[in-house]
Structure 1
Amino acid sequence: MANRRGLTLSWLFAGSLLAIPISPLEILPELEAALRPPQDVVVLEPAPSYGVVFHTVKPGESLLLIAARYRSDLGEIKKLSGLKRDLLKPGQTLKVPIEVKQKDEPRLPPGVQVYTVRPGDSLERIAGQFGLRIIDLVSANLDLASLDRLSVGTKLFVPTGERGLLITVGEGENLETIARRYRIDMARLARANGLDNPLDLKPGDRVLIPGIAAREAMARLEERRKEERRLAEERRRRLAAERAARLRQVAYRGGTSAKGFQWPLTKFRITATYHDARYYRRFRRVHTGLDMAAPQGTPIYAAKGGIVTAAGWSRVGYGYYVKIDHGGGVETLYAHMSRIAVRRGQQVKQGALVGYVGRTGFATGPHLHLEVRIRGKTQNPLSFLPK
């Protein structure tokens, strides 16, 4: 049978009587009652899109619920509303900051998707993943400063449909001006970008110029890669030479180099080479010689015979130093000594004692700073010493 005052029907059997209202107005009270929410349910209106909302707390609401409803920050609500704790009272007014509604995203041509760079990605790997040439990616990402060093999280435009040059629409530009600039048929341009109405474009939108590749940008990329490979090879050779020098613990082997020089110390550890990059990064100055760490007081010997032209205190950071003229414009300089064993004008032979290792002047530890000069200009000492 039917319950006239309710909205649900029991099972019906043949011969049952139904009471059907003559007017729909008779069941409005029942509909309102059925749709009315239970007393313990809080009904929340849609949040505005921006600004600060003055919200009156209703029974059953919590700070967490209100923050979630407005997508706001709980801490900011407490700060703006002057709340010391999270407990709310019905009727209390809160100031709720909400985010400004985001503007429409710039339009992308159909077939162009945004790819987020992941760990291990490279230009070649991404191009292969989408069946593209590298120049296709370059042409779609002219705004990026460098495509050769992709940082994780970088956004790339990937043309999965028609290939071409992807540009950004500027102020005052439209489909006609872009077609004229790139000398392309406007109908073809509209088709490539899925535009039924040329007026749909706005500044900031992306437009694909079909059939055009950024060959100049690709050439610059290749040139940059070539230069980076050259610099990397130079750096590899330099580091290999420095590594070999640092592994050399016993310097003096009783012989001389092809240029007639011997090592000035018998035992040492090289801590900085000529024009050492690490030294420059640390002290912001070019390293003009070879630093050889050794215990304080280690004897220093003349790398080659000659006349002592300077022996004393330096005013430019060498500390106690000795300079020897070997003739033909060739000189050696020995710096940061703890003691000097020769005097100016003295003739010394190769291997003669000239002083002792120290840390005087601009020095962070006991070591010998050796310089080789040709007509006053410093040279790499490793080019003159025995291998």
Structure 2
Amino acid sequence: MRFSSLLSTFYQFFSSKQKASACKLFILFLLSVLPATAEPIVNISDLSSRNFVFSQYQDEVQLSNKAWALGKKNPLLLFGYKAKKTDSIISVAARCSIRQETLATVNAIDSADQDITEKQLYLPSADGIFISQPPQGRLQVLLAGKYGTERISSAEKITLGTKKISFLRGEKLSPSERAFFLSEEIVFPLEKYTVSSEYGIRNSPISGRKMMHGGIDLAAKKGSVIKSCKSGTIVSAKTGDPVFGNCVEIEHSGGIRTFYAHMEKISVEEGQNVSAGTPIGTVGTTGLSTGPHLHFEVKVSGRNTDPLTILKK
């Protein structure tokens, strides 16, 4: 029998005035005898103040917030809810008084506009960031890179089904990460490619010396269409750069910029607005290049970051 059925059986014997206390006692009892596993303690059928179980969930959220403000930790409780057609991750978070990133990461949801109709959601009673091992989806991959293995391994642990998940209580998205979550679809700049050089320190194929590689190299057939990874404005469309050859830079929301280099042709111009997936040019081997490929960089607030942490498929 599911916990929701047990709860219904438990409090049906109580008067309306006694039900709140009855439900509270039952949840505390389950918490004392059950491990921190994946199955929600109880499912909520409707996010309405008239729904008794939802009211209890809201009480648990308030208690967790008060405890955190006092430097304490209430036990993490997980409730369940099946999203309706009218629901979005933003509307559910607002109704539950829980941060959007809390709901997004525990449910492996990558963006605010993702369709969650009929999706079985976990509703945690405390705010924070959830990261699965291994990370699930682009948002978790991005956050895993931010916090690092040591921080994640030392965080609170829960189990959801077969997934082991770290809970970084109280953590939240930075402004640029929030812009990433709230943004529209993000696409990979090439459809067919091979990652020929990754982000980080490498031996330069030109000089042979160890140098920082501020992006990734994507080997592809000459003439392959290069697409803008997300909507933005073309801030630079340069030809004949001695290092990068023909190259394009796009400014996106949230302090994010993307850079595309060694292009054969450029099909956009400075000041032009583009959408995710808009063709901006073709793969070439201009500038300092040893063969047809796209050199692709992502900068967040002016700092280079590994593109694969944001654009991972």
TM class, shorter-length? 0.3 to 0.5
Higher strand share: 2
TM-score, normalised with respect to structure 1: 0.32
Pick 1 or 2: higher relative contact order, CA cutoff 8 A, min separation 6.
2
TM-score, normalised with respect to structure 2: 0.39
Higher Cα Rg, which structure: 1
